[in-house]
A = this chain, B = another copy of it.
């Protein structure tokens, strides 16, 4: 992490952070981490109504974070930039605590 390296990318980094900085969008990304999921399934899993969910999906798509693929009647969304999962992981460790994050990785060294 170096200032001179970051300087030319500060705008991009800001844009990226803002593109995911929304409760619904974070949850969507989390839900997509293991592969494509249909809008309907996201609706059920996250408990979010169709319209607001679709609105956030549109933003994620507009930023190139996710992409949708039609399969018959449904549209399956998938993460288009796997590298952002790294940010999600760090974020979860910060907000959910190291315990939960470590548990996710299978390192349940009980304290």
Residues of chain A having any CB pair with chain B under 8 Å: 1-3, 5-7, 9-14, 16-18, 20-24, 26-27, 30-31, 33, 45-46, 83-96, 100-101, 104
Contacts and interface: CB of A to CB of B under 8 A. Distances in A.
Q: Chain A: interface secondary structure?
A: helix
Given A18-B18, A21-B14, A96-B6, A88 B26 contact: no
A10 B26 contact: yes
A91 B87 contact: yes
A104 B2 CA distance: 8
Given A9-B95, A90-B86, A94-B83, A30 B14 contact: no
Contacts of A2: 30, 92, 100, 104
